[in-house]
Each structure stands twice: as C-alpha cells, then as structure tokens.
C-alpha cells in the first residue's frame, strides 16, 4: 500500500487535541474523515506528536496509507478543498509519497515547540486564544537564566502530568530559550521527545520566575525534587505551538 506524509497547520482552539476521542472533535478525526470522503475507504493517520486541547500547530507531521496510488498533489488539493468546505481550522501545507519505513512518530529525530506570552496591560484581541496574556511585566533575563538549568538530560517528573503514560520521566532538552520582541515573549524548546504537559509546565514555572515569585535556585530545587507538587502552574494551552519536526 502506498504511504504518504503530510505536513499540517491547525488552530487547536475548537479541537480536543490531535488524537481521536469519542464524542469530541479532534484534528486526527477531521483529516481522516476528509481523506476517507474522496478515497472511499477507511484511513488511519499517525501523527508526530499528540497535541492537547487548544494547542496549535504550524508543522505537525502525519503519515497514512491508501489502497491505491494517488498523486500527492491530488491528495493535497482534495484534502484542503474538503476541509475548507467543512469549515475546519486545518490546512495541509505539504504532501509527498514516502517509503514504507517512514513513520511520522518513530522516525522523528527532534521536535520543536514555541510558547507565546503577550506581556502588556491591554487585553488581547487578534491574539486571543493564540497566546497567554500576562498583564504585569516579566523579567525575561531571569526567565532565560533559570531555563538554562533545565537543559540537558534530567528526570522531569516535576514537569509532567500525573496522567503522563510515558514509561520513563527522563528526557533530554537540547534547547530552552526565553526571548522578548516588544510585548511578545517566546519560549522555544527542542527535544527528541516530550512528556505530557512538559512544555506548558516549564512555561508556567518560568513565568513565575519572571514575576519575581521564584528565582533560579527555586527552579533547580523543583527539578531535583522529582515531585509534581513542586511544579509551578501549568501555562494555558492557547500559547503553545508545535512548530517543527526533524527527520
């Protein structure tokens, strides 16, 4: 069976996340239904990452197989056409045929996320549901300095959801930077894989460093505790974006 890879952009606001869930709209289900509509057979998508409810993607990757050969351009056009007709907040940005060894999840070498904070007194309009609105000034230099303690291989038990199903809490963060451009603060993070809620837990913890409520040592102590109760607040889903997957 021919195998295809697609890159996907979506606004996660109206969805329960990437993965199918009974009784709730998901990105995976919406795309599967659209491809099934023109292929006339069941289709199963396998994604590079399981984004949560309200999380966005600029470059999610998925693969699937079809019963017969289709030109990638035809899949691209047909899928986007039906998604648009259905009013879905999803777009396919690229489609290509791949060999049978390609797996969107297990072939991935690194995943990249971005967390957006808009730091200003005025409420958000255009960025509502697209970023975390924080009214009072944040110290970005302190946030970035504290973030450097978390780079490398660590037990991230403190920074993962109690519902996380990963067998091990050990992960290696290759990049964790905090930068400001005007009123926007970006937290960029890269790793081969992440734990459930890890990025949002890191973002929420770094935010309270920016508030002055925690310092660099508090973050180090939280990491060393390996205790979920020692984590800062989990940042809202609306600020998180899956921005790239390397293969």
Q: What is the pLDDT of residues 86-122, one digit of tens each?
A: 999 999 999 999 999 999 999 999 999 999 999 999 9
Residues 6 or more apart from 228 whose CB is under 8 A from it?
157, 158, 160, 161, 162
Does residue 127 have an active-site annotation? no
Q: What is the pLDDT of residues 37-91, one digit of tens each?
A: 999 999 999 999 999 999 999 999 999 999 999 999 999 999 999 999 999 999 9
The average confidence (pLDDT) of the chain is 97
Residue 165: per-residue pLDDT: 87
For 181, other C-beta atoms within 10 Å of its C-beta total 7
The matching CATH number, chosen from 3.40.50.720, 3.90.1310.10, 3.30.420.40, 3.30.70.660, for 110-246 is 3.30.70.660
User: Which of 52, 139, 155, 211 is labelled catalytic?
Assistant: 52
Residues 6 or more apart from 68 whose CB is under 8 A from it?
2
DSSP 114-181: EEEEEESSSPPSTTTTTSEEE-S---HHHHHHHHGGG-EEEE-GGGS-TT---S--EEEEEEEEEEEE
| Tokens linked to 136 | 């009072």
Within 13 Å, how many C-alpha atoms sit on residue 244's CB side?
A: 10
CATH number of 3-98: 3.30.70.580
- Provide the residue ranges of all domains of the chain, joining segments of one domain with +: 3-98, 110-246
Identical topology for domains 3-98 and 110-246? yes
């Amino acid at each position: 069976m021919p195998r295809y890879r697609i890159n996907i952009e979506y606004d996660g606001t109206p969805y329960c996340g990437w993965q199918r869930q009974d009784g709730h709209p998901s990105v995976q289900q919406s795309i599967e239904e659209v491809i099934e509509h023109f292929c006339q057979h069941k289709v199963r998508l396998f994604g590079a990452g399981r984004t949560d409810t309200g999380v966005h993607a600029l470059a999610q990757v998925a693969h699937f197989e079809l019963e017969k050969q289709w030109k990638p351009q035809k899949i691209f056009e047909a899928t986007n056409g039906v998604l648009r007709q259905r009013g879905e907040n999803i777009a396919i940005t690229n489609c290509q045929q791949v060999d049978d060894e390609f797996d969107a999840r297990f072939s991935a070498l690194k995943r990249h996320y971005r967390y957006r904070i808009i730091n200003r007194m005025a409420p958000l309009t255009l960025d509502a549901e697209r970023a975390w609105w924080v009214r009072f000034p944040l110290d970005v230099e302190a946030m970035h300095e504290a973030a450097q303690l978390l780079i490398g291989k660590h037990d991230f038990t403190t920074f993962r959801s109690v519902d996380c199903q990963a067998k091990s809490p050990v992960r290696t963060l290759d990049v964790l930077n905090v930068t400001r451009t005007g009123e926007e603060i970006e937290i960029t993070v890269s790793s081969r894989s992440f734990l459930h809620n890890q990025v949002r837990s890191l973002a929420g913890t770094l935010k309270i460093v920016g508030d002055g409520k925690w310092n660099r040592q508090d973050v180090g102590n939280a990491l060393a505790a390996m205790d979920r109760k020692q984590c800062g607040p989990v940042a809202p889903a609306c600020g998180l974006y899956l921005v790239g997957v390397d293969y």
